[in-house]
Structure formats: structure tokens, C-alpha cells
Amino acid sequence: MRTVGQLAWKAVARWEMLLVLLILAAGVWSWTLSSFFLRRANLLDLATPYVFLGLLAFGLTFVVIAGEIDISVVSTMAVSAVCFAQLWDSGVNVWLAAAAALALATGLGLVNGVLIGVLDLPSLAVTLGTLAAYRGLAYVVLGGDAIAGFPTHFTNIGGGYISNELPIALLVMLAFAVALGLLLHATRFGRYLYVLGSNREAARFSGIPVMRTRVTVFALSGFMAGVAAVVYLGFFGSIQADAASGSELIDVVTAVVLGGVDIFGGSGSMLGVLLAFVLVAELRNGMQLANWSGATQDMVIGGLLVGAILAGNAVRAAQARGWRLGMAGRRWKEVHHAEGQEEVSVRATLKTPGGGSTR
Amino acid sequence: MNTRRFVSAQALAEAVVRLRELGIFVALAFTILFFSVRATNFMTADNWRDIATDVSMVVVVAVGQTMVVLTRNIDLSVGSIVGLTAYVSSNTLADHHGLPIVVTALIAMGIGALCGLGNGLLVAVGKIPAIIATLATLAIYRGVLFEVTHGQNVFASQLPQSFLDLAAKKPLGVPSLAWIAIGVALVGAALLRWAPWARDFYAVGSNPDAARLAGIPVARRVMTAFVISGALAGLGGFMFAARFASVDAVAGRGFELDVVTAVVIGGVNVFGGSGSVLGAVLGALLVTTIQDGFTLMRVDEFWKIFFNGAAIVVAVTVDALITKRVQEALRRRRRAELLTAHERAAET
């Protein structure tokens, strides 16, 4: 008979399956709202406006698995996008400007990383501070202006299509999902993050370069914010200092947590985050179709975020209890079994002296 | 021997806190000096009344935030709670002109307390990290506000005159809102000094596990802190309505950052367990004075946002470095004492 623990373990292993089911359910809901939903063009294009959020979520996944948090990613993206636009506006080659934006974003992530990894400050407070500070930088650089009119060969990254149907942004995102998935699941660096997120002391004692890994993970998160900035510019074609200053942060955090990444660090998968991102994008799309106000949509996503963590906590609690139950059951069985054996042997000893006399 | 060491360690820790407050005080003095030289109209009674009114909203909400941060948590949802309760206060008064203003304030605090209870349940019972939980409720309470308002505003013309007069009144030359803030700060400081359940906030924040083993109901204390923070954010919302009269669905947006900056600059440690209301008040004064000075000097609005964020990072860094130094000093002292005790034992 299966114990509660085994069932709960199954539930965790099937978190991704649950996400797929949720995606299908949300699809059905969207389909009842508008029959256009199921057209191939719409299905392919569904996630395009949100690809930059997915890229931010991928970066954040590494940070959260390592047991930290980076809420400054949206501001990092805004600063690097703004600086890109200023550089381009002042005559710098568009690809050179993009490279500069990537470098800047990585540098800003590195600042977070040094404050957190080297000075050992709490990531929550540091990135809350840099969330505001980087946003302020974006305003300082661009003021209240907007810059638009980037060349098409550049904006294609975020807003172009292959044969008028397949969004390039989607391919960019999938490529990063695969590459980062390999980095997370198939390299030593990736394994370090899981150890770091489970138990930092144990990580230190087992010889993992804790400081370097923590700094790197924030630099990586910053780099992904730079990539997101490029895609953002491509899709929207214009930039202002207040870019992504609203509900974007909560979407990113929700995608990560709903994707099954333990908010306390130490577990999570790239596939889960990708699926959760698709779910969030699909829900946004559906709520847009249903003509819900932005604040109402945010409320739903906020509820989803809270619900995802509560569900994760409940599963883990059941798992812990179930394991204990399962263990107790096993021990009981062992004892029982042993008792039975003893009984048999006692009987045997009882029998032997008398030989066949009793029967 | 043992008790003497304990007392001296406590004295050292307390001295550090006093020094931290003194540091803010000196920074404040320098800021005031700087702006009174550089910014015109800074040292006028009118400007100081403006600062007092602005700072009082921050102070009221910061006292609640202080309690939350002391328990090693954070409440980012206060911006939305302020917006929600500001709308509810002004809307209630617009519909019921005869309603006593105190009742309106109590309604706002009640709604705020309910929001705080929601946060507390998510954090203490649901075991969600406070920053994530209150980030979510920041969006959720703002969504509730949009649902309630349907995008409509309350205008000053709809409000009873008695309410509009409230923010303009200056008993003893001090704006009435500042009196509210002084009252809240005094009560908050008194609670944190003398009320056993409020003292527990320090214990919970210093070491939650030790607090639990010492028999402190940790979950209940964390909930209490969040409820107080919510209720005070509600009072802050009421004050917001009194100050600005016309309220819309984006009221109080970003206010949480001002409050967190004030609290963190004021030396309330984000690791929990250390800090005071006096520090938070000084932090709020410093932040507001600098912003006011910037406005008078016609510095771009944008620099203020940058300043808030940079201030958080700097304050957190300084605090962490100080904490590390103090811990090292304590460890050294303990080692020295153990050595002398050992020598004495060897002599006898």
C-alpha cells in the first residue's frame, strides 16, 4: 500500500504535469471568451509580449534556487534599456549599444552580488534598495522622455516573425531556456546552487566556493535582465524610464515560484519555470480578452503567487508528515515481521526437544 | 562573574544603538545646515510646517513598519493599504457628512488592521517569506481599491468642511497631523519599552528559534506586528485623505518605499531584533527634509527616487558592518574573560 509520503512525493514529481493541466484549463477558459484564441497565430503569439518577463524569470530562478532573492531585476532591465536607447540616440551602432546594455546589466547585477556575496548583506534589503536606486538611475539618464524608432533589423529580435507566423522572440526565449536549463541541471555550477540553497554552511564545508558562486548568480541575473531589455526594446519599439515599473515584478516572481522553485532555496527546475511562465502569459492574455482592468489582473496574479507558495508549503508539510508516517509504518512492519520470526523460532525450539512426540 | 559579563555586553549593544541614533541626528543637523545655506525659503516657518505635515504620515506608518522589521519581517503592502483606506475615509465622509471624523479614522484603522491580519496570516501561518507575501498583497490590496473605486475619484468639493479644516489646523503652532504622529510615536515607543508582548518583538527578531524555545508565541507576535502595521497604515491613509482631500485609485503608490527607507536609515536592523521608534522618527525626518530641500533647490524629482534606494543600500551596509564589529568585540571580550577566569582557577 502507498503511504501518504509516497503520494506527496508523486505530487511534487508531477508538479510540471499539474502546470500542463492548468495551462490546458486556462486555455479552455480563454477559448470560451473568444473563439479566436485557438487559432494557430494567436497561440504562437500569445507569449510574445511577455517574453522579457520570462527571460527575467529565468535569471531569477538561479538566484532563488541559491536561496537568495533579487527583486531589482525589473529596474536593472529598465536602466540598461534606457542606456541602450541613449547610446543609440547619440549615434552609437545599434549592436554595439546592445552589447553595452548587456555589459551594464551584468555590472549592475555584479554590484548586487558583491554587496550580498562579499559583504554578506541580506539580499532582500540590498535588492529592495537597488530596485529603487536603479529605477532612479533610469530616470536620471532619460528623464521624462521617450526614445523610439530603432532600426527594424534590431527590433526583429523582440517583435519580428519568421514567415509571418513564428515569433522570433519566442525562439530567443526557448534558446535561453535550453541553454540555462543545461547550465542549471548539467553543470557543476548548477549543482552548487542547489547545495547552496539547501544549506550554506554545508556548502562551505564541502568546499564549494560560496562567495564566488553567490556573486556569479547575481551577475547572471543581471545579464538576463540585459537580455530582457533587448527583447523588450525589440517588442515595444520605444523606451521610457518607467518601463516595467508596475506589475512586471510580481509576474516574474510568480512565474518562478509557480514553476515549483522552492522560495527558501534548494530546489526547482527550468522546465517548471518555463511552464509557469506560459501559464502566467496565458492568464494575462485571457484576462485581457475578458477585458479585466490591470489592477484586477494584478490581484489575480498576486493571489496565484500566494496560492503557489501555500500549496508548495502544504505539500512539503504533508511530505514531512507522510515520510514520518511511512517510516513508522515500515518500522512497525519490521518489528511485526521480526516478532513473527521469533515466534516461529520459539515454536521451533519448543518442537525440537520433544521431537515428534506431540503429534 | 557571569551576570557582570552579560550586563556589560548589553551595555555595549545599547551604546551602539545610541551611537547609531546620534549618527542620524548629526546627519540630520548637517542636512538642515546645508539646505538652510543653499536652499532659499528653507528656514521659514511655513516650510517647516510643510515638512512636519509630510513627515507625520511617514512617521505614523513607520512606527508600525518598525515593529514588523523588528520581528525580522517586512511589510511592503503599506502603500496599497494607505491608498485603500484613504479612499474609504474620504468616500465615507463624502457620503455621510454628519459622521464624526474620529469614527472615520477608526474605520480606516479597522480596514488597515484587517489587511494587516491578512499579511500576518500569510507570513506567520502560511509560512510565506514576508517580502513575497506583502509584494503579493501590495498588488491584491491595490486591486481591491480599483474594484472599490471603479476608477472614480473623490474630490475635495464632496467632503465636509470640518474634515478639510483638519489638516489646516495648527494647535500650538504645530499642524494637527503632526500631533497625531507625535502621539503615535510616543505610544509606539512606550509599548516597545515597557509592554511585555512588544518586547517580545525584539526576541523574535533576534532569534526566532530561541524565542520559541523560551515560550514566546512567535506566530502570534508576528501577526500582532503585522496587524499594528496595517492599522497604522490605515491611520496614515486617513491622514493622506485629510492632507490631499482629493483621492484616486493610485493614491499612496510607492509610499512603502519612503517608509522602508525611513525605518532602515533610522537604524532598525533588517536582520531583526534591533532598532527603536526614535531611530525611525529621525530616519523619517532625514528622508523628508532631504526631499523637501531637493524640491526647494529644484533638483529633479528623479534624483529623489535614486536617493531613496541608495540610502537603503548604504544604511544596510553600515548597519551590517557595525553589527559584525560589535559581534567580534563581544567575542573577543568573552574570550578574554574566559582566559582570566581560567588563570584565576589555576592560581587557587
Q: Which domains does chain B have, with CATH numbers?
A: 20-337 (1.10.3470)
Contact B73, B224 (CB under 8 A): no
The whole-angstrom distance between A309's CA and the closest CA on chain B is 7
> Does A10 fall in a domain?
no
What does the pLDDT read at residue B326? Answer: 78
Is residue A19 assigned to a domain? Answer: no
**What does the pLDDT read at residue A349?**
40
| pLDDT of amino acid A4 | 57
The pLDDT value given to residue A41 = 77
Asked if the Cβ–Cβ distance from B129 to A296 is below 8 Å, we say: no
Return mean pLDDT, chain B: 84
CA distance A298 to chain B (A): 6
CATH code, A179: 1.10.3470
Q: Residue B283: CB partners within 8 Å, gap ≥ 6?
A: B24, B62, B261, B262, B263, B264, B265, B266, B267, B268
Query: Averaged over B153-174, what is the pLDDT?
Result: 77
Cell of B147: 474594484
Which of A124, A247, A296 is closest, CB to CB, to B147?
A296
Which residues of chain A neighbour B146 with C-beta distances below 8 Å?
293-296, 299
Smallest CA–CA distance, residue B314 to chain A, in Å, is: 9
Minimum distance, in Å, between the CA of residue A258 and any CA atom of chain B: 13
Tell me, yes or no, if B242 comes closer than 8 A to chain A by beta carbon.
no
pLDDT value at residue A336? 47
CA angle A184, A186, A188 (to 5 degrees): 80
B145 touches A: beta carbon within 8 Å: yes
Using one digit for the tens of pLDDT, what is the confidence trace for B89-107?
A: 888 888 887 788 888 899 9
- The verdict on a CB contact (< 8 Å) between B249 and A295 is yes
Amino acid at B91: N
pLDDT of residue B234: 95
pLDDT tens sequence across B250-303: 787 888 888 988 998 887 877 777 888 888 999 999 888 888 888 888 777 778
Q: Cβ distance A241 to A82 under 8 Å? A: yes
What is the mean pLDDT of the segment spanning B303-331?
A: 80
Q: Say what angle helices A248-258 and A270-289 make with each other, to 10 degrees.
A: 130
Task: State the pLDDT at residue A328.
Answer: 47
pLDDT value for B9: 63
- B136 in contact with A, Cβ within 8 Å: yes
Q: Is there a contact between A124 and B143 if contact means CB atoms under 8 Å apart? A: no
Residue A82 neighbours by CB under 8 Å, 6+ apart: A138, A141, A142, A239, A241, A243
B321 touches chain A (CB under 8 A): yes
Q: Which residues of A touch B126 (CB under 8 A)?
A: 306, 309-310, 313
Q: Do A139 and B310 touch (CB under 8 A)?
A: no
- Give the minimum alpha-carbon distance from B141 to chain A in angstroms, rounded to a whole number: 8
Among the listed residues A102, A319, A96, A274, the one whose alpha carbon sits nearest the alpha carbon of residue A177: A274
Q: Which residue has the higher pLDDT, B282 or B8?
A: B282
Query: Given an 8 Å threshold on Cβ–Cβ distance, is B142 in contact with A136?
Result: no
Q: Measured between CB atoms, does B138 come within 8 Å of chain A?
A: yes
- Is B189 or B348 the better-scoring residue by pLDDT? B189
How many angstroms separate the CA of residue B220 from the nearest CA in chain A?
Answer: 19
Between positions 197 and 216 of B, the ones with CB within 8 A of A are none
Note the pLDDT of residue A339.
46
Profile chain A (359 residues) by mean pLDDT over runs of 10 residues.
56 74 86 79 83 94 94 94 91 90 95 91 87 89 83 81 84 93 91 91 89 95 95 88 84 91 88 92 86 86 89 79 53 46 43 38
Q: For residues A273 and A259, what is the distance between their CA atoms, to the nearest angstrom?
A: 4
A335 found inside a domain: no
Nearest CA in chain B to A295: B143
Flag if A309 and B126 touch (Cβ within 8 Å).
yes
Q: Is the pLDDT higher at B230 or at A244?
A: B230
Determine, yes or no, domain membership for A120. Answer: yes
Specify the pTM: 0.83
Chain B residues within an 8 Å CB radius of A79: none
Q: How many domains does chain A have?
A: 1
AA identity, residue A270:
M
Q: Cβ neighbours of residue A198 under 8 Å, at least 6 residues apart? A: A67, A265, A266, A267
Query: Which residues form the domain of A266?
Result: 47-299
> Helix and strand tally (H, E) in chain A?
15, 4
Q: Is residue A112 part of a domain?
A: yes
Asked if B311 has any chain A CB less than 8 Å from its own CB, the reply is: yes
CA nearest to B306 within chain A: A136
Lowest-confidence segment of A113-127, B7-21, B61-75, B327-341 by average pLDDT:
B7-21
The predicted structure's pLDDT at residue A352: 39
Question: Is the distance from CB of A262 to CB of A198 less than 8 angstroms?
Answer: no
Q: Is residue A334 part of a domain?
A: no
Q: Tell me what pLDDT residue B2 has.
A: 47
Task: Tell me whether B121 touches chain A (CB under 8 Å).
Answer: no
Nearest CA in chain A to B321: A119
- As a 3-state breakdown, chain A gives helix, strand, coil percent values, each rounded to 5, of 80, 5, 20
Q: Domain for residue A342, yes or no? A: no
Report yes or no: B309 at the A interface, CB cutoff 8 Å.
Answer: yes
pLDDT of residue A256: 93
Residue of B nearest to A316 (CA): B127
* Interface touch A299/B143, C-beta < 8 Å: yes
Q: Determine which helix (DSSP H) or strand (DSSP E) holds A161, and give its type and residue range.
A: strand A161-162
What was the ipTM of the complex prediction? 0.81
pLDDT of B305 strictly over 50 = yes
